A = this chain, B = another copy of it.
Amino acid sequence: MKHVAILGASGAVGREMMKILEERDFPLASLKLLTGSKSAGSRLRFKGEELVAEEASEAAFAGCDIVLGAAQNPVAKRFAPAIREAGAVFVDNSSAFRLDPDVPLVVPEINPEDAAKHKGIISNPNCSTIITLVGVAGIGRLSPIESMIVSTYQAASGAGQGGLEELDAQVRAYAEGKEYPAKAFRYPLAFNLIPEIGSEAFQGYTTEEMKMQNEGRKIMHLPALTVSCTCVRVPVMRSHSISALIRTKEPVSVEAAREAVKNAPGCRLVDDLAQHSYPMPLDTSDQDLVYVGRIRKDLTAENGLALFICGDQIRKGAATNAVQIAELL
């Protein structure tokens, strides 16, 4: 039985973490909800009871075994030393520590063994990266993945509760013939696409785009992996979709790839074009499996495969993966 705290409990990911701890019947000795000063005092339901959120502070981590981080980088960085000092393990969903060589970056379906090497912090990977890698890891076990060309279709939830609310409000305003200003996103998202997620990072690629390569290398233990990624925000609520073309060391047949996906943990093969069966974000929302379909031979190279992958951004892309890491502990 573990004493658990959620740091950033009032956001979209924090709330989902509560839901998932409850669903998976995580062995909890206690649950503490920590938020910023604005949300402190708010009541959140958990297993039929009301828990009162406390303002996060250095002192709040005393007695905790595990802290699930659902806050932004500055908050994660600020509290990491206090969490360590309290003797708790920090399972952090921010990107603050992901590439730190002392911090394991874990997708439990792919590299669970890395979790044991932690020194007080384990990072939860980027949401698109988790969903993509869960989708392709089974194929990577047949032959190592050498490169990926990825275009994402990322949901509003990736920008948190504010993103979800903004897309909802924009669509309602449209129905009423009104304007709704963009705040969570730089431009209107309803009926639009925004091909910029994160900030400029490397040779014109954004931070979000580079995560697929940098985090992918670390999670799959493939230091030479190269990824060209284009990240695009789409007017979808909470499932990310990924059009991926992967190149493996040796060619993998479509049949072998389908079989590998079918047997890969955390995946569901949804791949029958004749029956109009393929992954779609509405179908993958509010559940944990990553759906994989449209598996085809790359027509431009011998050793390539094209796939379409969908998964719930808030759950498998964030909250579920973090709770699964906590379960490994």
Q: List residues of A whose CB falls within 8 A of some B CB.
A: 147-149, 151, 153, 171-172, 174-176, 186-188, 190-196, 200, 203-206, 213, 226-228, 230, 232, 234-237, 241, 243, 245, 247, 254, 273-274, 276, 278-282, 293-301, 304, 306, 308, 310
- Which residues of the partner chain B approach A200 to less than 8 Å between Cβ atoms? 273-274
Nearest CB of B to A8, in Å: 25
Partner of A193, one of B171, B247, B281: B281
Nearest CB of B to A46, in Å: 28
| Complex contact A298–B228 (CB within 8 A) | yes
Bound CA span A192–B239, Å: 9
Specify the chain B residue showing the minimal Cβ separation from A230.
B243
Check A230/B280 contact, CB under 8 A, given A205-B296, A247-B300.
Answer: no
Bound CA span A234–B308, Å: 14
- Which residues of the partner chain B approach A274 to less than 8 Å between Cβ atoms? 200
- Which residues of the partner chain B approach A213 to less than 8 Å between Cβ atoms? 299
Nearest CB of B to A11, in Å: 21
A-B contact list, 16 entries, CB within 8 Å: A149-B298, A151-B243, A186-B276, A188-B282, A191-B237, A192-B281, A193-B280, A195-B243, A195-B280, A195-B294, A196-B273, A196-B276, A200-B274, A203-B254, A228-B299, A228-B304
| Complex contact B235–A300 (CB within 8 A) | no
- Which residues of the partner chain B approach A237 to less than 8 Å between Cβ atoms? 191
| Complex contact B149–A300 (CB within 8 A) | yes
| Complex contact A273–B193 (CB within 8 A) | no
Bound CA span A234–B234, Å: 8
Specify the chain B residue showing the minimal Cβ separation from A295.
B204
| Complex contact A282–B205 (CB within 8 A) | no
A-B CB proximity, top 6 nearest = A175-B175, A151-B151, A151-B243, A147-B300, A204-B296, A226-B300
Partner of A172, one of B175, B188, B247, B306: B175
| Complex contact B241–A193 (CB within 8 A) | yes
Name 15 extra pairs, CB < 8 A, besides A195-B293, A235-B236: A147-B301, A149-B245, A153-B153, A153-B232, A175-B175, A192-B236, A194-B280, A204-B296, A206-B273, A228-B296, A228-B300, A230-B306, A232-B308, A234-B235, A243-B243
- Which residues of the partner chain B approach A306 to less than 8 Å between Cβ atoms? 228, 230
Interface core residue of A149, A247, A298 (most chain B CB under 10 Å): A149
Specify the chain B residue showing the minimal Cβ separation from A294.
B195
| Complex contact B204–A294 (CB within 8 A) | yes
Bound CA span A192–B234, Å: 9
- Which residues of the partner chain B approach A247 to less than 8 Å between Cβ atoms? 300
| Complex contact B195–A278 (CB within 8 A) | yes
| Complex contact B300–A193 (CB within 8 A) | no
Partner of A171, one of B148, B171, B236, B254: B171
Nearest CB of B to A221, in Å: 19
